[in-house]
Structure 1
Amino acid sequence: MGRRTGIRAVAAESVLVAAGGRAILLQLAHPSVARGVAEHSDFVGAPLRRLTGTLDYIYLVVYGSATERVAAARYVEKAHTPVRGTPENGSPGYSAGDADLQLWVAATLYDSAMAMQERVLPPIPEADAERVYREYAVLGTALGMPAELWPANRAAFAAWWNERLAALEVSDDARRVARDLLHPRGPGAPIWLRIVMPLARLLTTGLLDDRMRSGFGLPWSPRRQRLVDAVLMLTRLVWPLLPARVRHAPAIRSLRRFRARDTRHPENRH
Structure 2
Amino acid sequence: MTIRPVREATPLHLHDVASDAVMLAGGGCAILLQLAHPAIGHGVAAHSDFVERPLDRLHGTLDYLYALAYGDQLEQEEVVRRVNHAHAPVRGETGHGIPSYSAFDPELQLWVAATMYYAAAEVYERVFGALDEASADAMYREYAELGTRLQMPPGLWPVDRSAFVVYWNTGLAALSTDATTRSVARMLLHPRHVPFWLRSIMPVIRFVTIGLLPAPVRELYGFSWTPGRQRAFDRVTQVTAVVYPRLPRRLRQWPRNHVLRRLRRSLPRTLVGTNTEKVA
1:205 match: 210
2:33 match: 26
Q: 1:266 aligns with which of 253, 269, 279?
A: 269
Shift of 1:170: 1.9
Shift of 1:242: 1.1
Q: Is the contact between residue 34 and residue 171 of structure 1 (CA under 8 Å) also seen in structure 2?
A: no
2:230 match: 225
Deviation by residue 1:223-269 (Cα, 9 ceiling, x = unmatched)? 2112211211111001110122111211112222222332xx33677
Identity of aligned residues (%): 49
Rounded to whole Å, the distance in 2 between the matches of 1:197 and 1:257 is 23
Deviation by residue 1:180-234 (Cα, 9 ceiling, x = unmatched)? 211112xx22222221111111111111122111110111112211221121111
> With structure 2 as the length reference, what TM-score do the two structures score?
0.89
Rounded to whole Å, the distance in 1 between the matches of 2:162 and 2:90 is 33
Rounded to whole Å, the distance in 2 between the matches of 1:52 and 1:4 is 29
Rounded to whole Å, the distance in 1 between the matches of 2:271 and 2:47 is 25
Rounded to whole Å, the distance in 2 between the matches of 1:7 and 1:24 is 20
Query: Match for 1:53: what amino acid?
Result: G
Q: 1:168 aligns with which of 175, 189, 197?
A: 175
Measured at CA, do residues 83 and 267 of structure 1 come closer, stay the same or move farther in structure 2, by a change above 3 Å? farther
1:254 match: 259
2:243 match: 238
Structural mapping, 1:95-244, within 5 Å: 95-185=102-192, 188-244=193-249
Give the gaps of 5 or more residues in structure 1: none
Q: Is the contact between residue 11 and residue 135 of structure 2 (CA under 8 Å) also seen in structure 1?
A: no
Rounded to whole Å, the distance in 2 between the matches of 1:213 and 1:94 is 24
Q: 1:57 aligns with which of 42, 53, 64?
A: 64
Query: Match for 1:196: what amino acid?
Result: I
State whether structure 2 residue 70 is matched by structure 1 residue 67. no
Rounded to whole Å, the distance in 2 between the matches of 1:199 and 1:150 is 33
> With structure 1 as the length reference, what TM-score do the two structures score?
0.93
Measured at CA, do residues 199 and 163 of structure 1 come closer, stay the same or move farther in structure 2, by a change above 3 Å? same
Shift of 1:172: 2.2
Deviation by residue 1:150-176 (Cα, 9 ceiling, x = unmatched)? 001101101110111112122222211
Deviation by residue 1:94-119 (Cα, 9 ceiling, x = unmatched)? 11111111100000000000011111
Deviation by residue 1:107-146 (Cα, 9 ceiling, x = unmatched)? 0000000011111113321111101100101111111210
Runs of 4+ displaced beyond 3 Å: none
Give the gaps of 5 or more residues in structure 2: 1-9, 273-280
Rounded to whole Å, the distance in 2 between the matches of 1:69 and 1:202 is 33
Measured at CA, do residues 72 and 26 of structure 1 come closer, stay the same or move farther in structure 2, by a change above 3 Å? same
Shift of 1:43: 2.9
Deviation by residue 1:18-50 (Cα, 9 ceiling, x = unmatched)? 111110100001000110111110234222232
Rounded to whole Å, the distance in 1 between the matches of 2:11 and 2:162 is 24
2:277 match: none
Shift of 1:75: 0.5
Query: Match for 1:195: what amino acid?
Result: S
